[in-house]
Structure 1
Amino acid sequence: MTAVQTDTPPRARDAAPPAFTGELDTDAALLAAYVAEEERRLAGSPPRPERTPAQQELTDEVFARCRTVRDAFLRLHTDGVYARLTGNLTRRPRLGDLVYEAAGHFPGLVPDRARMAAELRFIQAEKDGLEIDQAAFCAALLRSETAGRHLIDTMLMPTPRAQELLDGFRATGRADLGSVLVERRGTAGHVTFRNAHCLNAEDNRLIADLETAIDLVLLDEEIRVGVLRGGTVDHPRYAGRRVFSAGINLKDLRNGAISFVDFLLGRELGYINKMLRGLLTAPDAPAWCRRTVQKPWIGAVDTFAIGGGMQLLLVLDRVLLASDAYVSLPAAEEGIVPGLGNLRLPLQTGSRLARQVILGGRRIAATEPEARLVCDEVVPAEELTEAVERSVRELSAPAVAANRQMLTLVEEPVDLYRGYLAEFALVQAARSYSEDVLAKVERRWQRSRARG
């Protein structure tokens, strides 16, 4: 009898997964050996765009089996892995460093830097989706009360970049971070988005700059109130006008330049959570009020706040909307999850309006009655600066920071936030590689190219 020829290596497709023992080091070795053996089947396989259907089918099977085994490992060992990576909770590596330390300490658990760097050569549709493995790891950490709370606290601490810039900012009251400008004006810290070339859309650079800016405002003792506002933009339709935010940069998403760890999850654990819960400056203090620096935040919305821009408004203490502006969370159109909008928007607007906005793509214009559910004041565009100054004076009272902290404890307990983020990590990573999202961002990119 003649053997049937295939284009796959001879290893059996139904090889049994490892039988984990419950002992961390033993199981880590089993995981590493299993993943290495599975991935050897892909040796010599070309990049995704050049694969045959049979090669892609094999790749999908190998990835699926490895992910099933990783999930089984993490169900047993999430706390043990995190304890190893943090020296029994004595170290605080930030999320970006943590996932790569995990790759070094536990081979096969998450992709290492070299593999992630290789992925960056391709647009989103041509990647293998290795960020899905990062998402599964992050979700497991967040599901754990011990690891999740420790990680959340770590991400609330000042960034090294902000600490390096702090003395200079205190002396001059100004820091030009590239895509963000931070200025101290009286008792207010003004954070101005300056991603002018893309309508102040969010990209990896803007996310990093914004976290540094928020840190500086919270660390400067002379500042009592933070202010967010979009700068003027270059887009022909809005040239010379201020724009708050166009949300995620869909061109970068199409091109594979939106990081899951640093952007999609990092922004939620980073600067947005710092505005809501405060900057963690004394992690060993017994009470949260003594552990953090908290300040009220004002958002001044010119023209529009779309997607991630509207998400920001949901954690601010006062939102001022120019009378010709609108807000929206176009999740249905983009195909991805609007951050924590699904958790926070219903608290402000009620469930019915939240569903219209998130599921139906409804825009809320400043002139509509419903605008009052997402902002505090609607003012003529030319009076927005004056309204900001008035709000700064009103929110500078000493008791404001204490009361906003107590409101956050009631409205969004940390374990509610942690549980949501664990699910969000998995869903958002999967959506970022789903066929409908990839098709939509490709069509938008093609239309943009056609317009020149």
Structure 2
Amino acid sequence: MSSDAVLTKKVADHVMLVTINRPDARNAVNGDVAQGIERAVLDSEKDPDIWVVILTGTGDKAFCAGADLKAVSAGTAGGLSTPGGGFAGFVHQPRTKPWIAAVNGFALAGGTEIALACDLIVAIEEAAFGLPEVKRGLVAAAGGLYRLPRALPKAIALELIMTGAHFDAKRAFHYGLINRLVPRDKLMPEALKLAADICENAPIAVRESLGIARQALDLDDAALREASGVAARRNAATEDYKEGPRAFIEKRAPRWAGR
């Protein structure tokens, strides 16, 4: 389902594209964007044919400029979050499927936080990131203050958080924040290729593995060992668990059922 503020469509086998569609507002998050992204998450989770989701912004300037300050100044900032998903209906939304941020321009403040909440990032060379909230007397409360130090060396992350400075995509790629750094015309092809690479694998095995990896910095080894065992047992009950070894023995590509 699509709205004017958030567009969704299937763009390849098992791949959904979600686009923030407010280019005149630099794709800033208002209530419609928050509701639209949350709906896209819920729809993708319910659709067994969707294995990977790509998130991007309309236009060639901004992935997302963060919160719509007009909404904030009008006293409607509460609408920029949803009860289940947090800011943009996304940053705290439970998701089992991989999300790729295709960053087509600057991603500042909440835009950086949305990108950090995705699992992988593909960005154009002109992209920029940053948490400038402190410059405005605000706190980056949509996950950036703890996700950025996980993604970057601590000293670099702390400097960016305390100064509110922007950092360009080349520096972000150097420190491992970005998976792929590409020219503008290669952004969507590269994001689609990355999605296709993921889709070559058993979708439930990918989701179970991702679920453990997302908790790697939050749980101790004992808890992670237990969670890994539970994930492995759930995966062992699927048809794809049998299909993978069978395809290997028969020297053919596996035909994943996703169940």
Which of the five TM-score ranges fits, normalised by the shorter chain? Answer: 0.7 to 0.9
In the alignment, which residue of structure 2 is the partner of 1:79? none
In the alignment, which residue of structure 2 is the partner of 1:310? 112
The higher radius of gyration belongs to 1
Match of residue 27, structure 2, among 200, 222, 229:
200
Match of residue 211, structure 1, among 33, 38, 47:
38
> Alignment length, in residue pairs?
213
Mark the CA change 1:210 to 1:381 in structure 2 (over 3 Å): closer, same or farther: same
In the alignment, which residue of structure 2 is the partner of 1:343? 146
In the alignment, which residue of structure 1 is the partner of 2:128? 326
Q: Indicate the structure with greater helix content.
A: 1
CA distance in 1, matches of 2:133, 2:124: 23
CA distance in 2, matches of 1:374, 1:298: 13
CA distance in 1, matches of 2:47, 2:214: 22
Partner deviation per Cα, 1:398-438 (whole Å, 9 max, x = no partner): 2321111001222245xxxxxxxxxxxxxxxxxxxxxxxxx
Match of residue 7, structure 2, among 174, 181, 197:
181
CA distance in 1, matches of 2:122, 2:172: 15
What one-letter code is carried by the residue in structure 1 that aligns with 2:51? R
Partner deviation per Cα, 1:189-235 (whole Å, 9 max, x = no partner): 11000022311001122111110011111211111100001012xxx
CA distance in 1, matches of 2:107, 2:174: 12
What does 1:73-84 correspond to in 2, within 5 Å?
none
The sequence identity of aligned pairs, in percent, is 24
What does 1:9-24 correspond to in 2, within 5 Å?
none
SS at 1:327's partner residue? strand
Q: Indicate the structure with greater strand content.
A: 2
Deviation at 1:373, TM superposition (A): 2.7
8 Å Cα contact 1:365/1:371 also seen in 2: no
4+ long deviations beyond 6 Å = none
Partner deviation per Cα, 1:149-185 (whole Å, 9 max, x = no partner): xxxxxxxxxxxxxxxxxxxxxxxxxx22221011012
In the alignment, which residue of structure 2 is the partner of 1:299? 101
CA distance in 1, matches of 2:196, 2:25: 32
Which stretch shows the higher mean deviation, 377-386 or 348-357? 348-357
Deviation at 1:245, TM superposition (A): 0.3
TM-score by length of 1: 0.45
In the alignment, which residue of structure 2 is the partner of 1:171? none
Unpaired runs of 5+ in structure 1? 1-174, 233-240, 279-293, 414-452
Mark the CA change 1:295 to 1:372 in structure 2 (over 3 Å): closer, same or farther: same
Mark the CA change 1:351 to 1:264 in structure 2 (over 3 Å): closer, same or farther: farther
What does 1:365-444 correspond to in 2, within 5 Å?
365-368=168-171, 371-396=174-199, 397-398=201-202, 399-412=205-218
SS at 2:160's partner residue? helix
8 Å Cα contact 2:153/2:175 also seen in 1: no
CA RMSD in angstroms, aligned pairs only? 2.0
TM-score by length of 2: 0.76
8 Å Cα contact 2:84/2:92 also seen in 1: no
CA distance in 2, matches of 1:369, 1:243: 17
In the alignment, which residue of structure 2 is the partner of 1:360? 163
In the alignment, which residue of structure 1 is the partner of 2:234? none
